[in-house]
């Protein structure tokens, strides 16, 4: 199969006699690109400069460095050990010696049978290429596509003889494990086989190859496709024909267009996978293309991950406090605050929470950040309690990963004890996404925390499908209205009606509502008129560092 990809293989002829080099060259140059060396030393230099030789024809008796010495050096070198070598000799005894030294075959001098010599060269090269590939696991037993190792080795050999620009493409079936769990493994296997069938057909049409990289991920090396979205649509349609609802399937496709050959095939597909993975939180697209911006983003995020622990230790992270005001009296009153994290990176400057929080949520590091925020918030609440004689409760975020931590309650209890606080002085914010991940666990944790006196706030209420489901199962103390409703409430009727609905629900549950993102007086007046109890946003104050928030408390007192 590889031999059909046409580009002449490269053969190195090593002989100190020019007439012998010329004779062999004339026999081979119609089929091969021929390179010459006059002695063993020169041959090794050429091999070190160029790794693309498919065969070496090696004379044994030469000045400077003889053939047996070259054989020995090649067979002890990791890169040259598998290079096919045919010995050139007229000494019968030398044939046995050279085979034992690692030669693959020998050709007798004088060179009087061109067809035989050419056939032996072809045979040795063909055996070498086949053995290199057969050494690897070739085929995925389920789909019949190439397995990863064979796939990448094929690409390497392909590119020795073809310089056509190719795309590296990664296709992933999102949440495929749920298909197995809901419809059974047999149905899942049928789907994988169907995807493989389509990819194999498409790759053949575009002079490419495909492989199954892992359970639900496929790689395609292809000469290019005008519309990869059509590829995704055709696969989803085929899945629908297998009785699986197309609405329940989502494909992600990452494309490394005209992949750079200066990096390894594995790296090219890593780049395509980076583009593919970037679609996990983006439900507006099926296809993403790798580019320099994405590469720069990867480097940036890698640096953030690397620097996180050091920045916690050196306190480059800082907790800010955004005040919340009760607005149902004659005059707005400071009631509590929300703890928010800021990162003043020593090299990159101020980093937006929108950059690092989703990143750390995705890889689990957010738990370390949460612990830092909890400790700082509890410490400052304790300081202000002693300084002013009363406490200003502070809300802290409890991430999804925190819910699964068996030591969560013990960690919070120790924080309270350390800072001489009551559980009612540290509010805990949860998001409805935690409910959709593991409702049973969340319900258990929330009930236990409330029994210990903690006040539970549901953050971003109304932003997801599970909000109402949560309210039927989880006892909560505060609803925090999604700020998008507030920001648009005076611009469109739908957002205003949603704000009214949230307030109606809060009255039915007899819990207060915190409206986030209030930025102007018109929003403030409307929310007050509608019966909203608490407001948080730039209308009253931006998030403040601890010393400025302390001044705000002092101002409220006097």
Residue 4 binned pLDDT confidence (cut-offs 50, 70, 90): very low
Residue 235 binned pLDDT confidence (cut-offs 50, 70, 90): confident
Residue 3 binned pLDDT confidence (cut-offs 50, 70, 90): very low
- pLDDT number for residue 535: 95
Supply 334's token pair: 């400071």
- pLDDT number for residue 433: 63
Structure confidence by residue, pLDDT tens digits, 492-532: 898 899 899 999 999 988 999 999 999 999 999 999 999 99
pLDDT of 1 strictly over 50 = no
pLDDT of 171 strictly over 80 = yes
Closest CA to 442 of 411, 401, 393, 479: 401
**Among 99-113, 124-138, 206-220, 497-511, which is the least confidently predicted range?**
124-138
pLDDT of 349 strictly over 90 = yes
- pLDDT number for residue 525: 94
- pLDDT number for residue 547: 96
- pLDDT number for residue 438: 65
The better pLDDT of the pair 61, 425 is held by 425
Mean pLDDT of 123-140: 72
Mean pLDDT of 230-234: 84
- pLDDT number for residue 464: 56
pLDDT of 126 strictly over 50 = yes
Mean pLDDT of 338-345: 96
Structure confidence by residue, pLDDT tens digits, 10-50: 999 999 988 989 999 999 988 899 999 999 999 999 998 88
- pLDDT number for residue 403: 87
Paired strand residues for 394: 337, 426
Share of the chain above pLDDT 70, in %: 93
pLDDT of 465 strictly over 50 = no
Structure confidence by residue, pLDDT tens digits, 263-317: 899 999 999 998 998 887 677 888 999 988 877 887 888 899 999 999 999 999 9
Backbone φ and ψ for 187, nearest 5 degrees, come out as -65, -40
Q: What's the rounded Cα separation, in Å, for the pair 22 and 28?
A: 10
Q: What's the rounded Cα separation, in Å, for the pair 86 and 106?
A: 5
Give the domains, in start order, of the chain with CATH numbers: 2-134 (3.40.50.2300), 148-290 (3.30.70.270), 299-553 (3.20.20.450)
Cis status of the peptide bond prior to 558, with omega within 30 of 0 = no
Q: What's the rounded Cα separation, in Å, for the pair 405 and 403?
A: 6
Mean pLDDT of 129-158: 78
Mean pLDDT of 232-241: 78
DSSP assignment of 65-102 equals S-HHHHHHHHHTSTTTTT--EEEEES-HHHHHHHHHHT
Mean pLDDT of 64-85: 87
Identify whether the C-beta of residue 486 lies closer than 8 Å to the C-beta of residue 527.
yes
* List of long-range contacts for 554-557, beta carbons under 8 Å, 24+ apart: 554/388, 556/333, 556/334, 557/388
With both helix axes pointing from N to C terminus, report the angle between 67-75 and 92-101 in degrees, rounded to the nearest 10.
20
Supply 308's token pair: 């996180």
Q: What's the rounded Cα separation, in Å, for the pair 446 and 439?
A: 11
pLDDT of 197 strictly over 50 = yes
H helix or E strand, kind and range, residue 49: helix 40-49
**Among 98-102, 328-332, 520-524, 540-544, which is the least confidently predicted range?**
98-102
Supply 331's token pair: 């005059």
- pLDDT number for residue 5: 40
Q: What's the rounded Cα separation, in Å, for the pair 218 and 269?
A: 10
Question: What are the percentages of helix, strand and coil residues in the chain, rounded to 5?
Answer: 50, 20, 30
The beta strands (E) that lie in 248-401 are given as 251-256, 287-289, 317-326, 333-345, 349-351, 394-397
Residue 244 binned pLDDT confidence (cut-offs 50, 70, 90): low
Residue 93 binned pLDDT confidence (cut-offs 50, 70, 90): confident
- pLDDT number for residue 553: 94
Q: What's the rounded Cα separation, in Å, for the pair 378 and 372?
A: 10
- pLDDT number for residue 434: 64
R_g of the chain computed on alpha carbons: 35
Q: Where are the alpha helices (DSSP H) in 184-330?
A: 185-205, 228-241, 265-277, 292-313
Backbone φ and ψ for 265, nearest 5 degrees, come out as -55, -40
Q: What's the rounded Cα separation, in Å, for the pair 54 and 34?
A: 11
pLDDT of 397 strictly over 90 = yes
- pLDDT number for residue 370: 95
Closest CA to 122 of 3, 209, 36: 3
DSSP 184: -
Mean pLDDT of the chain: 87
pLDDT of 225 strictly over 90 = no
The better pLDDT of the pair 100, 532 is held by 532
Structure confidence by residue, pLDDT tens digits, 403-451: 888 999 999 999 999 999 999 999 999 876 666 566 788 888 999 999 9
- pLDDT number for residue 191: 84
Supply 513's token pair: 């509502």
Paired strand residues for 209: 221
Mean pLDDT of 92-107: 81
């Amino acid at each position: 199969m590889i031999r059909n990809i046409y580009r002449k293989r490269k053969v190195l002829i090593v002989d100190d006699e020019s007439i012998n080099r010329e004779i062999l060259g004339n026999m081979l140059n119609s089929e091969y690109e021929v390179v010459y060396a006059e002695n063993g030393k020169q041959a090794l230099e050429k091999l070190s400069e160029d790794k693309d030789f498919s065969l070496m024809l090696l004379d044994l008796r030469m000045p400077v460095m003889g053939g047996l010495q070259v054989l020995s050096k090649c067979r002890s070198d990791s890169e040259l050990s598998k290079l096919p070598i045919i010995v050139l000799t007229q000494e019968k005894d030398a044939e046995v010696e050279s085979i034992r030294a690692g030669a693959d075959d020998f050709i007798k001098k004088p060179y009087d049978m061109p067809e035989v010599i050419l056939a032996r060269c072809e045979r040795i090269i063909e055996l070498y290429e086949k053995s290199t590939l057969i050494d690897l696991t070739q085929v995925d037993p389920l789909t019949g596509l190439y397995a990863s190792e064979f796939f990448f080795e094929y690409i390497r050999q392909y590119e020795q003889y073809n310089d056509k620009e190719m795309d590296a493409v990664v296709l992933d079936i999102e949440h495929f494990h749920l298909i197995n769990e809901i419809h059974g493994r047999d149905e899942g296997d049928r789907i994988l086989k169907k995807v493989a069938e389509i990819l194999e057909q498409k790759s053949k049409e575009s002079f490419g190859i495909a492989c199954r990289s892992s359970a639900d991920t496929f790689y395609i090396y292809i000469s290019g496709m005008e519309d990869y979205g059509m590829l995704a649509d055709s696969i989803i349609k085929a899945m629908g024909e297998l009785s699986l609802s197309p609405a329940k399937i989502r494909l992600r496709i990452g494309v490394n267009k005209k992949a750079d050959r200066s990096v390894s095939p594995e790296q090219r597909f890593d780049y395509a996978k980076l583009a593919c993975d970037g679609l996990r939180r983006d439900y507006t697209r099926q296809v993403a293309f790798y580019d320099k911006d994405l590469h720069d983003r990867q480097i940036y995020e890698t640096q953030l991950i690397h620097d996180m622990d050091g920045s916690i230790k050196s306190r480059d992270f800082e907790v800010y406090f955004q005040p919340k005001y009760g607005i149902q009296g004659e005059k707005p009153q400071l009631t509590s605050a929300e703890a928010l994290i800021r990162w003043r990176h020593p090299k990159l400057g101020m980093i937006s929470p929108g950059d690092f929080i989703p990143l750390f949520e995705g890889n689990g590091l957010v738990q370390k950040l949460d612990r830092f925020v909890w400790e700082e918030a509890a410490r400052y609440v304790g300081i202000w309690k002693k300084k002013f004689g009363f406490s200003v409760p502070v809300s802290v975020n409890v991430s999804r990963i925190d819910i699964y931590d068996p030591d969560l309650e013990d960690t919070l209890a120790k924080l309270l004890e350390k800072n001489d606080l009551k559980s009612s002085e540290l509010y805990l914010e949860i998001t409805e996404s935690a409910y959709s991940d593991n409702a049973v666990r969340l319900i258990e944790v929330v009930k236990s925390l409330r029994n210990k006196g903690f006040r539970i706030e549901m953050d971003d209420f109304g932003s997801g499908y599970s909000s109402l489901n949560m309210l039927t199962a989880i006892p909560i103390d505060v609803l925090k209205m999604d700020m998008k409703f507030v920001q648009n409430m005076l611009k469109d009727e739908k957002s205003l009606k949603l704000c009214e609905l949230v307030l109606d629900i809060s009255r039915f549950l007899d819990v207060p509502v915190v409206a986030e993102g209030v930025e102007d007086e018109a929003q403030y007046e409307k929310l007050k008129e509608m019966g909203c109890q608490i407001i948080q946003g730039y209308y009253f104050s931006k998030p403040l560092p601890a010393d400025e928030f302390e001044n705000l408390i002092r101002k409220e007192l006097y």
